[in-house]
Chains A and B, each alone.
Chain A
């Protein structure tokens, strides 16, 4: 369950960054780290399996930019936007339940 939750959070973080506009992988990693004050980080290249999985599932699209150095840019696909909305509300509900449970437990103690 923990691995599944971690996977869902990582995916939602990536999709949320891409909701603002296309980005390179390193930009996504930096944005997540900086905007969560380091609470969430993608270390040791863990970002790439997530990006490639999301791309394979059609939630994001990857495009190569030609130039002196080829770079890959990711953008949110329509399916990804719908997935982000559904997952966000689902996670919000789960966390609200969790917080309610913890507060109840604290009061009982």
Chain B
């Protein structure tokens, strides 16, 4: 058994904020190595020394639960035991989507070019809402757990990029469709001033909404970037701790 295996396992199962996870792993890892050295110096065979050190120092289920309770985020602490992480995440996502939906619906129902932009603006709303849910899910994880592990970060950003591209594609399609309609009308007969204005407004509004969706996607992503970078740096340090070569050569 190599030293990093139990630490890696601990890293995988310990659900505390990323920074606390790093500090706990550093502390326990250093203690674990020092105890191995001490036991090896006493002539304890390496395999037995590892078992003894692991049994003493590596947190079991009860100790992990105590540590997780001690290092809860303020929101998690405030929510208490009654609400699970999954429920709290679902509630935060639902709140984000509800607020976003209210904003989008208000914009689409309000008299003006947005309402006149037609079916494509509704399609854009259909892309924006799941994008908002995805973003809300990331934010919920950050405020609830102050942690977003690598695989989750990749999934979050992958979906975020996918929704931004889908938004741009729908908007482009809408602009092309409306522009085609405008050109067709032009070729048939000179359109009235009001009809021309209405068609131009629809094309430009769709273009603006598409750009707006992409800009909102970028801005919302930028809001998460500092935290995501912090998690990235913390995880790099955790990797160095758990992947450290064993220093118990004296036991061999």
Residue of A30, A41, A46, A47 touching B38 (CB-CB under 8 A): A30
Question: Is residue B243 within 8 Å, beta carbon to beta carbon, of the partner chain?
Answer: no
Chain B residue nearest in CB terms to A67: B30
Chain B residue nearest in CB terms to A50: B66
B8-24 vs A, CB cutoff 8 Å, 1 = contact: the mask equals 00000000000000011
**How many of A's residues come within 8 Å of B, CB to CB?**
22
The distance in angstroms between the C-alpha atoms of A100 and B183, with both chains bound, is: 103
Which of B56-64, B83-91, B161-169 lies on the face that meets chain A?
B56-64
Contact A46 B63 (CB under 8 A): yes
Chain A residue nearest in CB terms to B34: A26
Cβ distance A72 to chain B, nearest Cβ, rounded Å? 4
Contact B30 A44 (CB under 8 A): no
Contact B63 A45 (CB under 8 A): yes
Question: Is residue B70 within 8 Å, beta carbon to beta carbon, of the partner chain?
Answer: yes
Across-interface contacts of B23 in A (CB, < 8 A): 72
Question: Is residue B33 within 8 Å, beta carbon to beta carbon, of the partner chain?
Answer: yes
Residue of B30, B35, B64, B244 touching A72 (CB-CB under 8 A): B30
Most chain B CB within a 10 A radius of its CB, from A29, A42, A52: A52
Cβ distance A35 to chain B, nearest Cβ, rounded Å? 15
Across-interface contacts of B192 in A (CB, < 8 A): none
The distance in angstroms between the C-alpha atoms of A46 and B53, with both chains bound, is: 13
Question: Is residue A56 within 8 Å, beta carbon to beta carbon, of the partner chain?
Answer: yes
Q: A residues 45-68 with Cβ under 8 Å of B?
A: 45-49, 52-53, 56
Cβ distance A104 to chain B, nearest Cβ, rounded Å? 36
Contact B62 A46 (CB under 8 A): yes
Across-interface contacts of B53 in A (CB, < 8 A): 26
Across-interface contacts of A25 in B (CB, < 8 A): 27-28, 31, 57
Question: Is residue B67 within 8 Å, beta carbon to beta carbon, of the partner chain?
Answer: yes
Given A69-B33, A71-B34: A45 and B58 within 8 A (CB)?
yes
Given A43-B55, A71-B34: A56 and B60 within 8 A (CB)?
no
Cβ distance A101 to chain B, nearest Cβ, rounded Å? 31
Chain A residue nearest in CB terms to B244: A69
A sample of 10 more A-B contacts (CB under 8 A), given A45-B28, A45-B58, is: A24-B34, A45-B56, A45-B60, A47-B56, A49-B67, A52-B67, A52-B70, A56-B70, A72-B23, A72-B27
